[in-house]
Amino acid sequence: MPDFTPVLLRRLGKAGGQSLDSYRADGGYRALAKALNDMSPAQVGETVKAAGLRGRGGAGFPTGVKWTFLPKDHPGPIYLCVNADESEPCTFNNRILQEEDPHQVLEGILLASYATRASTAYIYLRYEYGKSYRVLQKAIDELYENNLLGRNILGKDFSLDVYLHRGAGAYICGEETGLIESLEGKRGWPRIKPPFPAVEGAFRKPTVVNNIETLACVTHIIDRGADWFKSIGVPADPKNPRDAGSYGPKLYCISGHVNKPGCVELPLGVTVRELIDKHGGGVWKGRKAKGCIPGGISMGLMTEAEFDTPLDFNGPGKVGCLGLGTAAVTVFDETTSIVDVLYNICRFFAHESCGQCTPCREGTGWMYKIMERMRSGQGRLEDLQILDEVAKNIGIMPGTTICGLADGAGWPVKNAIAKFRPELEECIRKGPTLAVSRPLQAVHA
């Protein structure tokens, strides 16, 4: 892939880059002025729709299409909920945007609110992100002081209030209705759908939920145009009517057993191998990779032989993964026991299941107990069949749960059994001699 000039991270590391003056000096809020002076809310929405922007939070749903689900001519209020929870393990791209360039994100929030006629935006922020909270609040205060938030922004008939709401450290609140329940002061349990948030969301009013990186992209789409955005990434396959394309830049996180963990911005479609070898400095300690988690642990596992898979919205699905997810790649080397990998994953989901749905509450717990037994050297060969059956029978896709946490819990288990079965069987036969007692590094980063 040729060299790429960053867009979302172009101001990363700039001295004083979090301030309003610095952001404006670099052309900041030019897109907002353009929208308020020259475009109607519908035109902003159509531009985002034409750009083919897909949500960066995991599901990849077309953002402009999502906005059209709001009821027409609703008297209001309409709310925008910004998902800044970012609780998928090894994912930290939103944190970088919030801490390093908060006004880029806030401009996207303003533009999305204008397009959807939202009068209030809530940023639901992961509680552990203390620096993000301080930086964002300072940036919000600057906007109020300069008539970029509040009543009649820039003298136009557009008003918006933005509030920061700190979450309570629950993975389940990354699911949009769980987020809304928590925002309302309730237990973070996902809602039964329908009604969907666009019809009945926060405080039972129409609500749009978008994540931080998605909204940062909106800023550049309005500033540079839909054609510019579609010139980056992977075009839609004309032979596949279900392919909506993978357009625009993407922030990829690299962690685990690599020499240079970090976050890089590249066009959608970079391969896992290029991401690890070129941008992650290769596998650490001169070792080889055994596999990786390509997009957050809920997306499943890839073997080293599958590293030439492109990380766009369609690529991971071709090798049995659930999707692109958050594009957080976690590498594990050849010395890592796959039993340890699965143990950590199952432990995480058993802890984070909200318990509302019996198949998820019990299924994640069963898988964790089986992996705990297997890791201690007491596993049985029939455990693999039980694990596979449990993983295939929990989740939205078999129709047994309200949200997709169970699908995310089961997918890496199914992948591991299908792709690493010989190693799993050998670990079971040889007992504790192969099951490494140390936890896999970086899975819970």
Q: Which domain CATH number covers 299? A: 3.10.20.600
Strand duo 289-293 + 233-234: pairing? unpaired
Given this model, what pLDDT does residue 364 score? 97
The answer to the question of residue 379 being in a domain is yes
Given this model, what pLDDT does residue 16 score? 93
When mean pLDDT is compared across 12-16, 177-181, 282-286, the lowest value belongs to 12-16
Are residues 223 and 262 both part of a single domain? no
H helix runs in 39-160, sequence order: 41-51, 63-67, 93-100, 102-116, 130-145
When mean pLDDT is compared across 89-98, 207-216, 297-306, 432-441, the lowest value belongs to 432-441
> Using an 8 Å Cβ cutoff, are 257 and 284 in contact?
yes
Are residues 361 and 258 both part of a single domain? no
> Using an 8 Å Cβ cutoff, are 181 and 203 in contact?
no
Are residues 318 and 343 both part of a single domain? no
H helix runs in 401-442, sequence order: 405-419, 421-430
Are residues 29 and 141 both part of a single domain? yes
Rounded mean pLDDT, 195-216: 96
Last residue of a domain, one of 333, 352, 385: 333
> Using an 8 Å Cβ cutoff, are 45 and 133 in contact?
no
Q: pTM above 0.85?
A: yes
CA 423 vs. chain centroid, Å, equals 31
Rounded Cα distance, 299 and 294, in Å: 7
Rounded mean pLDDT, 283-304: 95
Are residues 216 and 91 both part of a single domain? yes
Pick the closest to residue 76 from 193, 158, 152 (CA basis).
Answer: 158
Q: pLDDT digit string (tens) for 19-43?
A: 999 999 999 999 999 999 999 999 9
pLDDT band at 432 (very low <50, low <70, confident <90, very high): low
The answer to the question of residue 172 being in a domain is yes
Task: Taking each helix axis as running N to C, give the angle between helix 405-419 and helix 338-352, from 0 to 180 degrees, rounded to the nearest 10.
Answer: 170
Given this model, what pLDDT does residue 1 score? 55
Rounded Cα distance, 55 and 424, in Å: 35
Are residues 211 and 94 both part of a single domain? yes
> Using an 8 Å Cβ cutoff, are 4 and 91 in contact?
no
- Does position 226 have pLDDT exceeding 70, yes or no? yes
What are the angstrom distances between the C-alpha of 54 and each of 58, 65, 113, 207?
A: 10, 9, 17, 18
Are residues 325 and 424 both part of a single domain? no
Instruction: Map tokens 């059209």 to a residue.
Output: 68
- Does position 119 have pLDDT exceeding 50, yes or no? yes
> Using an 8 Å Cβ cutoff, are 182 and 171 in contact?
no
The answer to the question of residue 2 being in a domain is no
Give the structural domain span for 344: 338-433
Domain count, the chain: 3
Taking residue 214's Cβ as centre, other Cβ atoms within 10 Å add up to: 25
Are residues 133 and 223 both part of a single domain? yes
Q: pLDDT digit string (tens) for 229-268?
A: 999 999 988 888 888 899 999 999 999 999 999 999 999 9
The end-to-end CA distance of the chain, in Å, is 29
Q: Which letter, b or e, does each residue of 180-210 get, where b requires 16 or more Cβ atoms within 10 Å of its Cβ?
A: bbbbeeeebbbbeeeebbbbbbbeebbbbbb
Are residues 74 and 201 both part of a single domain? yes
Q: Give the domain CATH number at 347.
A: 1.20.1440.230
Rounded mean pLDDT, 363-391: 95
Task: Taking each helix axis as running N to C, give the angle between helix 30-38 and helix 212-224, from 0 to 180 degrees, rounded to the nearest 10.
Answer: 60
pLDDT band at 303 (very low <50, low <70, confident <90, very high): very high
Rounded mean pLDDT, 368-393: 95
Last residue of a domain, one of 231, 263, 285: 231
Q: Give the domain CATH number at 172.
A: 3.40.50.11540
Given this model, what pLDDT does residue 441 score? 45
Are residues 186 and 265 both part of a single domain? no
Rounded mean pLDDT, 165-187: 94
Rounded Cα distance, 302 and 419, in Å: 8
Are residues 193 and 161 both part of a single domain? yes
The answer to the question of residue 439 being in a domain is no
- Does position 291 have pLDDT exceeding 60, yes or no? yes
Are residues 318 and 358 both part of a single domain? no
